[in-house]
């Protein structure tokens, strides 16, 4: 495939990013969904497990909305001895650690009472402390996993890297990188994508590109993470060069890739480049999400093409504040 974009002659200064997608990009790079999740629109615990649950007490977890209800369910599970089994205990722990109305400290108390926590439970605690903005505890749990030779999976590394993003220095993330090699996860695409994103997010672009170059298999997330890192840290020329290389390697961009590249067009005021991206999106049937529509609209407005901007606005069925 031929490059879509011409080479950029001038580096640009990115003072403000019109639309920050780094957190969305990271979630996308995981390509994983938690066993249980919390809806941001409803105060309802939503279990996504494929296991058929028949116990009435466990079924009540599906509609648990606060810690008072959770403790009532826990009391019932204690009375019936369900609490002593790993599977029933997992959603209780997950609610406390991950739910919007949960309690990470209560989750830690529950965790300390589990005789043999499984990998999912350890990961839940790491992720819970990351969500609670207590990265030191999340990292501490990861170190405990490593020291006690608890079985890890790819999520263990992804969640602890997310916690490492909250530290002031990169040292903790580098130690996780060492454990990736030691535990044999260096060939896992999802873990490598997490490392690329972590280093790029923190501005260690040389480290990020080293991991990128050493990846024998690269998917759209690998490329987009690296491109986004260049864009965020004022390296637009490198970002566009890598985007061209991505197309030449026949890797199909997704909507996040398009948003990242369009943000460069907005800040450069490069209408021709923006139009070429717009045509590509239509030709390749890229998912035309609200975020992508907003970024496209922003690009045309900032490039002074208000007629096309108005056409896009009129086509937006659901409009948000942006």
Q: Are strands 45-47 and 36-38 parallel, antiparallel or unpaired?
A: antiparallel
Q: What's the CATH number for 22-251?
A: 1.25.40
Backbone φ, ψ for residue 38 (5° rounding): -115, 130
Of how many residues is the chain composed? Answer: 322
> Which residues on adjacent β-strands are paired with residue 38?
45
* pLDDT score of 4: 60
- Domain positions in the chain are 22-251
* pLDDT score of 303: 92
How far lies 184's CA from each of 11, 30, 157, 164, 268, in Å? 39, 18, 12, 20, 42
Q: Quick check: 314 and 286 in contact, CB under 8 A?
A: no
Alpha-carbon distance of 199 to 213, in angstroms, equals 13
Residue 107, class by beta-carbon neighbours within 10 Å (0-12 exposed, 13-18 middle, 19+ buried)?
Answer: buried
* pLDDT score of 316: 87
Q: Is 89 helix (H, G, I), strand (E, B) or coil?
A: helix
Alpha-carbon distance of 26 to 136, in angstroms, equals 20
Residue 271, class by beta-carbon neighbours within 10 Å (0-12 exposed, 13-18 middle, 19+ buried)?
Answer: middle
Residues 6+ apart with CB under 8 A from 160: 126, 130, 138, 139, 142, 176
Give just the sign of the alpha carbon dihedral 126, 221, 215, 171: negative
Tokens of residue 245, six digits: 């290389």
Alpha-carbon distance of 242 to 127, in angstroms, equals 32
> Which residues on adjacent β-strands are paired with residue 45?
38
The H helix count followed by the E strand count for the chain is 17, 2
* pLDDT score of 225: 96
Instruction: Write out the chain's pLDDT in tens, 322 residues.
Output: 555 654 443 333 332 233 333 434 333 433 333 323 333 344 444 544 444 445 676 778 888 999 999 999 999 989 988 888 888 899 999 999 999 999 999 999 999 999 899 999 999 999 999 999 999 999 999 999 998 888 999 999 999 999 999 999 999 999 999 999 999 999 999 999 999 999 999 999 999 999 999 999 999 999 999 999 999 998 888 998 999 999 999 999 999 999 999 998 888 888 999 999 999 998 888 888 999 999 999 999 999 999 999 999 988 888 888 8
* pLDDT score of 3: 58
């Amino acid at each position: 495939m031929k490059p879509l974009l011409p080479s950029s002659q001038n580096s640009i200064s990115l003072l403000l990013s019109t639309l920050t997608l780094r957190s969305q990009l990271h979630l996308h790079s995981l390509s994983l969904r938690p066993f249980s999740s919390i809806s941001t629109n409803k105060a309802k615990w939503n279990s996504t497990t494929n296991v058929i649950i028949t116990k009435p007490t466990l079924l009540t977890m599906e509609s648990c909305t606060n810690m008072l209800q959770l403790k009532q369910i826990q009391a019932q599970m204690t009375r019936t001895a369900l609490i002593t089994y790993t599977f029933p205990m997992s959603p209780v722990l997950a609610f406390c650690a991950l739910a919007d109305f949960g309690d990470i400290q209560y989750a830690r108390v529950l965790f300390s009472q589990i005789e043999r926590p499984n990998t999912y439970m350890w990961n839940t605690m790491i992720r819970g402390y990351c969500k609670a903005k207590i990265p030191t505890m999340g990292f501490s749990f990861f170190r405990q996993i490593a020291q006690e030779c608890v079985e890890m999976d790819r999520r263990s590394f992804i969640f602890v890297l997310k916690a490492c993003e909250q530290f002031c220095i990169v040292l903790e993330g580098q130690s996780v990188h060492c454990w990736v090699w030691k535990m044999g996860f260096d060939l896992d695409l999802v873990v490598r994508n997490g490392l690329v994103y972590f280093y790029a997010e923190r501005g260690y672009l040389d480290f990020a590109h080293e991991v990128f170059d050493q990846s024998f298999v690269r998917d759209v997330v690998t490329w987009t993470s690296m491109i986004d890192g260049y864009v965020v840290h004022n390296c637009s020329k490198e970002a566009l060069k890598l985007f061209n290389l991505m197309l030449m390697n026949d890797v199909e961009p997704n909507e996040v890739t398009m948003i990242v590249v369009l943000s460069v067009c907005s800040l450069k005021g490069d209408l021709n480049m923006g139009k070429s991206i717009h045509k590509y999106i239509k030709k390749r049937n890229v998912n035309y999400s609200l975020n992508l529509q907003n970024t496209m609209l922003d690009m045309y407005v900032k490039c002074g093409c208000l007629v096309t901007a108005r056409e896009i606005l009129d086509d937006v069925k659901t409009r948000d504040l942006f």
